[in-house]
Amino acid sequence: MKIKNWMMVIACCSGLFFNLQAAELKMAYDADPLSLDPHEQLSAGTLQLSHLLFDPLIRWKKDYSFEPRLAESWQWVNDKALRFHLRKEVKFHSGNPLTAEDVRWTFDRLKKSPDFKGVFAAIGIVQVIDNHTVDLITSQVYPLLLNSATYLFVMDSRFYQGQDAQSRSKAALIKGGNTFASTHASGSGPFVVSYREQGIRLEFQRFSEYWDRHSPGNVTKIILTPIKEDPTRVAALLAGDIDFISPVPPADHRRIRKNNRIDLITMSGTRIITLQLNQQRQPAFKDQRVRQAIVHAINNQGIVKKIMKGFGLAAGQQSPPGYVGHHPSLTPRYDLKKAKNLMQAAGLDKGLQVTMMAPNNRYVNDEKIAQAVVSMLAKINIRVALKTMPKAQYWPEFDKRAADIMMIGWHSDTEDSANFTEFLTACPDSVTGWGQYNSGHYCNPEVDQLVRLAGVESDSQKRAKLLQQVEQILYDEAAFVPLHWQNLAWAAVKNVKISPILNVMNFPFLGDLVIE
């Protein structure tokens, strides 16, 4: 009895202490998440939300290593089975305790998600060993099993059981459908949705029984307002109406840096912006020398400096620094003289007429970049008829492969190099789905073979070698035109300490955010 009383006192005091430093965060993104269902859409918005409402088994750290979350440890049982030991005493928002059964249930649901099933394709089953132990089992050796586990945000299986008032199954997962899970959520994450008016405001309260007692986070309430217009979002921060914004348009960086009340944080991102040269539409692009000439004629360092105002890193390959396949010696290769010589060698010194399309509201400065490319190619007598359009119109055109040169940016969902090639530079294959976004029709079976080998190589050093070899071949054959990796930027008032919780995956861990 006495002990209990003491505990009460301690609990009260710590509660008081907590209240003293409790803080509210007003933040603005350019959009709010589409749905509360973590499996409906694989997008940055969904993943950012998932890190608030749910918790993954493990999560990425800044340096691409893994950090335990719901799983406190993991070990390989054999080369096709990975065992996760779950934390005990984790509670969902509904009050239900987390068990291995929830992991299995979540995994089964993920396998039915059109967006996520690709990430989990290699994993055959999730086997429940005991109440707090599960095995992820693959049919063959799969080196990216841990990467996939960062996407396994465990849902509260009992909460999503049965039917709702309109007698719809609570577990239903329908793209764009009005489902129970798209408007209700129970996860184990640091925050609970307390108010949601889609497109206008999203409010969160801190979950009082959050398992991570060591988290330094002291934010008890978050108000997320989507502000689509860049100038308005920046103005709201400068005016003091909002504490934390992302993204921050490059044009405003100088202005924000000068403000001594606000911190601007930028990171070299992982999204590669490329141009693809369509060899089927434009026979001249079949000639490797012509492709090389184009790569050598485009001054992508100049584009980063002048158009992007330094908000990017000029690229010579797909994989950004830090990825396993990144090959340090493959650097940008602007050389106008060499480009002219190559055109001459290809017998095209008289010139060439090609078409090009690019979006004008998808990537940072996409339209200006495309225009710069046109003038750069004019110097080697390639006359480009450029058409730019909003992304809503652009992607159908891209699917039709409607121009000789098309722009596409790509972020690897697995944070792994192989993903770039599988989607952008592998031989197009409608059965495997490889090369789905390869509008250039570049095809080298050797590249495909290397990526396939890397897909079953568990030795990380050997695997890195294979993927670097891929980058080397793509570089030598000028399979595509690498432009740059787009940077990421966030800005917050100084007492909101965003730096420790940001990462290059763009999932701010707001649960751990400290406001002074």
Q: Which residues bind another protein (CB under 8 A)?
A: 34-35, 41-43, 114-115, 118-119, 175-178, 182, 197-200, 225-229, 231-232, 235-236, 238-241, 361, 390-393, 395-396, 399, 410-411, 413, 419, 423, 430, 433, 436-437
**CA-angle at 406, arms to 400 and 409, nearest 5°:** 105
Query: Minimum distance between the CB of residue 475 and another protein, rounded to whole angstroms?
Result: 24
Query: Minimum distance between the CB of residue 50 and another protein, rounded to whole angstroms?
Result: 13
Extended beta strands in 87-199, E state: 123-130, 133-138, 191-197
Query: Minimum distance between the CB of residue 235 and another protein, rounded to whole angstroms?
Result: 5
Pick from 273, 272, 275: nearest CA to 440: 275
Place of tokens 């249930």: 105
Place of tokens 């054959």: 477
**Which residues fall within 8 angstroms of residue 34, CB to CB, at 6 or more apart?**
40, 41, 43, 45, 46
CB closer to another protein out of 114 and 321: 114
Helix (H, G, I), strand (E, B) or coil at 290: helix
Query: Minimum distance between the CB of residue 382 and another protein, rounded to whole angstroms?
Result: 29
CB closer to another protein out of 61 and 391: 391
What is the end-to-end Cα distance of the chain in Å, rounded? 38
CB closer to another protein out of 211 and 437: 437
Under a CB-based contact definition with an 8 Å cutoff, are residues 67 and 501 in contact?
no
Q: How far apart are CA 205 and CA 344, in angstroms?
A: 65
Query: Minimum distance between the CB of residue 91 and another protein, rounded to whole angstroms?
Result: 29
Strands 133-138 and 191-197 come out as: unpaired
Query: Minimum distance between the CB of residue 442 and another protein, rounded to whole angstroms?
Result: 19
Query: Minimum distance between the CB of residue 393 and another protein, rounded to whole angstroms?
Result: 5
CB closer to another protein out of 54 and 394: 394
CB closer to another protein out of 64 and 395: 395
Q: How far apart are CA 115 and CA 105, in angstroms?
A: 17
Place of tokens 């914004």: 245
**10 Å Cβ neighbour count for 24?**
12
Q: How far apart are CA 423 and CA 412, in angstroms?
A: 9
CB closer to another protein out of 330 and 357: 357
Query: Minimum distance between the CB of residue 12 and another protein, rounded to whole angstroms?
Result: 33
Pick from 292, 372, 306, 303: nearest CA to 335: 292
C-alpha dihedral sign at 369, 375, 377, 379? negative
CB closer to another protein out of 282 and 425: 425
CB closer to another protein out of 187 and 409: 409
